[in-house]
């Protein structure tokens, strides 16, 4: 058998052989593969967010709006929830199509987040009512009991409630601030801008609940938003909320309230005339004595 001389190994071949049997390279490739698998798993987890995670998102979004925007629009909710998702689950909106996300928001998330916002409005108003009770020593008619409009009107026109109402706007008193701090003990110590909004919201609820000539204690949308805007402008421009601000709002509401004239049980009493109503209004705010 003929022996052939060994062919010298070139430098390039040596490098190839070394790379094929290099343990460090193998380990690096394995780690890279593991990272890819982990990233795929994270992406899948982001796409399959649980209802519990979305609920946390709803809560955080609603807190963003409170108290300056208590009735956000569809676009407000959608935009803010998308911001929250991009911050906490950045892969979610990248992985789902825009059409699928929009359908999901319309079909599910919008309704759920509206419920959360409604809960926040209710608990916040209840917190202020409770703080009014503690600060002013009043017994507010229970919302669970079926109080008639007459019951509510009699309570609001009592001397005790009238005195408490005027205290809201007394420069020597800090009633609104005290109520705000009791109702929102954690929010009250945040930045000044947020506290100002909390202060204005608290003043708005207090004015609805305690105003002797406003016929309800429930914080419906229109009267609450009207007071919030008016009081916020007053605080910004005049650095205070005055009794005159409350009176001017009430004058705007007179035409609306006349449409909700109380119907007596016997249905025989004639409704108050506009002149009589305005006379009662003037008497209520007459401080000549």
pLDDT in tens, 155-183: 999 999 999 999 999 988 899 999 999 99
Letter string b/e over residues 77-89, b meaning 16 or more CB atoms within 10 A of that residue's CB: bbebbbebbeeeb
Helices vs strands, H then E, count in the chain: 14, 0
Cβ count near 240 (within 10 Å): 11
Contact 189, 231 (CB under 8 A): no
Q: Quote the percentage of the chain above a pLDDT of 70.
A: 70
Split at pLDDT 50, 70, 90, the class of 195 is confident
Summary mean pLDDT of the chain: 79
Instruction: Note the pTM of the prediction, 2 decimals.
Output: 0.71
Q: How confident is the model at residue 29 (pLDDT cuts 50, 70, 90)?
A: low
List, as one string, the DSSP characters of 264-276: PTTS-SPPPPHHH
- Max CA pair span of the chain: 135
pLDDT tens digits for range 249-262: 999 998 877 766 54
CB 234 within 8 A of CB 241: yes
Please state, in angstroms and rounded to a whole number, the distance separating the CA atoms of residues 253 and 157: 18
Domain boundaries in the chain?
145-284
Q: Are 176 and 203 in contact (CB under 8 A)?
A: yes
Least confident of 43-57, 73-87, 110-124: 43-57
Q: How confident is the model at residue 141 (pLDDT cuts 50, 70, 90)?
A: low
pLDDT at 288: 40
User: 3-state class of 49 per DSSP?
Assistant: coil
Confidence of residue 37 (pLDDT cuts 50, 70, 90): very low
Q: Which of 191, 179, 173 is CA-nearest to residue 243?
A: 173
Interhelix angle for 51-65 vs 110-136, to 10°? 50
From 134, 154, 130, select the one nearest 142 (Cα to Cα).
130
pLDDT of 268: 41
Confidence of residue 10 (pLDDT cuts 50, 70, 90): low
Is the pLDDT at 14 greater than 70? The verdict is: no
Cα-Cα-Cα-Cα torsion 283, 285, 286, 289, nearest 10 degrees, comes to 110
Q: CA 218 to CA 224: how far, in whole Å?
A: 9
Tell me the average pLDDT across 118-142: 90
- DSSP classification of residue 96: S
> Could you give the C-alpha distances from 102 to 97, 186, 187, in angstroms and in order?
9, 35, 33
């Amino acid at each position: 058998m003929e022996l052939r001389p060994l062919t010298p190994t070139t430098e390039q071949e040596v490098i190839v052989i070394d790379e094929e049997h290099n343990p460090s390279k193998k380990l690096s490739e394995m780690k890279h593969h593991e990272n890819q698998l982990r990233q795929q798993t994270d992406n899948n987890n982001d796409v399959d967010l649980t209802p519990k995670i979305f609920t946390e998102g709803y809560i955080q979004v609603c807190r963003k709006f409170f108290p300056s925007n208590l009735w956000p629009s569809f676009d407000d909710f959608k935009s803010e929830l998308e911001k929250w998702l991009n911050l906490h689950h950045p892969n979610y909106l990248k992985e789902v199509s825009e059409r699928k996300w929009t359908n999901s928001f319309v079909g599910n998330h919008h309704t759920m987040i509206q419920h959360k916002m409604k809960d926040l409005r209710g608990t916040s108003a209840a917190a202020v009512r409770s703080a009014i009770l503690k600060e002013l020593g009043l017994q507010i008619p229970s919302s669970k009991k079926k109080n008639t409009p007459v019951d509510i009107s009699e309570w609001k026109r009592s001397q005790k409630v009238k005195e408490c109402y005027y205290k809201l706007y007394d420069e020597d008193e800090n009633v609104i601030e005290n109520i705000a701090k009791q109702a929102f003990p954690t929010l009250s110590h945040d930045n000044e801008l947020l506290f100002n909004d909390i202060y204005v919201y608290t003043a708005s609820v207090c004015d609805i609940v305690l105003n002797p000539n406003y016929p309800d204690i429930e914080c419906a949308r229109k009267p609450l938003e009207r007071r919030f805007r008016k009081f916020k402008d007053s605080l910004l421009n005049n650095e205070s909320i005055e009794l005159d601000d409350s009176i001017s709002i009430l004058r705007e509401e007179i035409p609306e309230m006349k449409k909700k004239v109380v119907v007596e049980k016997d249905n025989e009493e004639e409704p108050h005339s506009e002149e009589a109503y305005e006379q009662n209004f003037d008497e209520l705010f007459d401080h000549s004595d």
